[in-house]
Amino acid sequence: MNEKVLALGQKCLRLVTSNKITSSFLGGKPLVGGQFDWPRKNDKPLGFIGQLDLKEINPEKEIDWLPQIGRLLFFYDLAEWPWGFDPKDTGGWATVYENGNSDLYPYVLPSDLDMEHLSPSIKYVKSESFISYPDGQRVDFESIGISEDDDEEYYDFIDEHFGDEPRHQIGGFPSPIQGDSMEEDCQLASGGVYCGNSDGYNSKEAEKLRSELLDWKLLLQFDSDDEIEAMWGDMGMLYFWVRESEAKNCDFSKPWLILQCS
């Protein structure tokens, strides 16, 4: 691939299987060092889907907007399966930043948690430095010397770059399955604009929100993963997004989530 294509790359962290037990994992149950309020919606606890220990995942601060200590716990409404294009989806997911002491312990689960909303298996993960590349929807192929008729060459390059492993990732460009406008979708939907049709995108409210700072960053791209029986729709992905300005202050209380599938 030519130098112009390689120059499009943006650093990120890829999550891959660890051959030892870590306190970063997908699936399983929370392993924490302090108390937290289990997220709920409509008075029902959300499903727990994984956690990342930032001391393990981001020790060299390769993702400069992420802390280097504490744990991020990820939750999702496994009963309603919100997509993230409707402002009413708010509360259908959550991230909890937990920064207790180093002696970790299994968290006591809510008594009314549906056990089907916990993965029966667990995948311990570690991070690897990785380079992400923008989806073709973001690329001006002519400017990088690729004919639009040959754009499959670019997609083949991305597929070879990732290989066959699930595309679990922190930071960088997402791997969209449908539209590649997730930063804008987060901005609009979290700001109260319905993004399920063109009316919302064309509204005055959307125009105003676009004029504000769009500092959304990919906090976690959680791919479907057969190893832990995680299937997001039809071979889909969950994309947790957070504002960079808030993440730098260890504030993960207002993430936005997008679900896409084929």
The candidate with the shortest Cα–Cα distance to 216, out of 236, 190, 179, is 190
User: pLDDT by residue (tens digit) across 118-154?
Assistant: 988 999 999 999 999 999 999 988 888 888 777 888 8
Q: Is the pLDDT of residue 30 over 80?
A: yes
Domain spans, the chain: 3-260
Q: Is the pLDDT of residue 87 over 80?
A: yes
Q: How far apart are CA 15 and CA 57, in angstroms?
A: 8
Looking at residues 88-116, what average pLDDT do you find? 95
26-40, 73-87, 141-155, 160-174 — which is least confidently predicted? Answer: 141-155
Burial string for 62-89 (b: 16+ CB within 10 Å, else e) reads bbebbbeebbbbbbbbbeeebbbbeeeb
The candidate with the shortest Cα–Cα distance to 133, out of 170, 168, 162, is 162
Residue 101: pLDDT band (50, 70, 90) is confident
Q: What is the pTM of this model?
A: 0.96
The two tokens of residue 190 are: 């979290």
Selected residue with higher pLDDT from 5 and 81: 81
Q: Is the pLDDT of residue 1 over 70?
A: no
CATH number of 3-260: 2.30.320.10
Q: Is the pLDDT of residue 94 over 90?
A: yes
The candidate with the shortest Cα–Cα distance to 250, out of 69, 94, 33, 60, is 69
The candidate with the shortest Cα–Cα distance to 23, out of 100, 115, 113, is 100
Looking at residues 241-255, what average pLDDT do you find? 97
In 18-116, where do the E strands start and end?
A: 25-27, 31-32, 40-41, 44-45, 47-53, 71-76, 93-98, 105-106
User: pLDDT by residue (tens digit) across 217-234?
Assistant: 999 999 999 999 999 999
Q: For residue 213, what are the contacts with CB-CB under 8 A and spacing of at least 6? A: 245
| Cα torsion 102, 218, 260, 142: sign | negative
Bridge partners, residue 215, by sequence:
none
Query: Residue 184 has what pLDDT?
Result: 96
User: pLDDT by residue (tens digit) across 157-201?
Assistant: 999 999 999 999 999 999 999 999 999 999 999 999 999 999 999
The angle at the Cα of 87, spanning 81 to 91, to the nearest 5 degrees, equals 55
Looking at residues 79-93, what average pLDDT do you find? 97
Looking at residues 43-53, what average pLDDT do you find? 97
Strands 25-27, 71-76: pairing is: unpaired
Average pLDDT value over all residues in the chain: 95
- Range list of H helices, the chain: 3-6, 54-57, 151-162, 182-190, 198-201, 204-211, 244-247
Q: How far apart are CA 194 and CA 29, in angstroms?
A: 33
Looking at residues 47-57, what average pLDDT do you find? 97
Looking at residues 72-91, what average pLDDT do you find? 97
Looking at residues 4-27, what average pLDDT do you find? 96
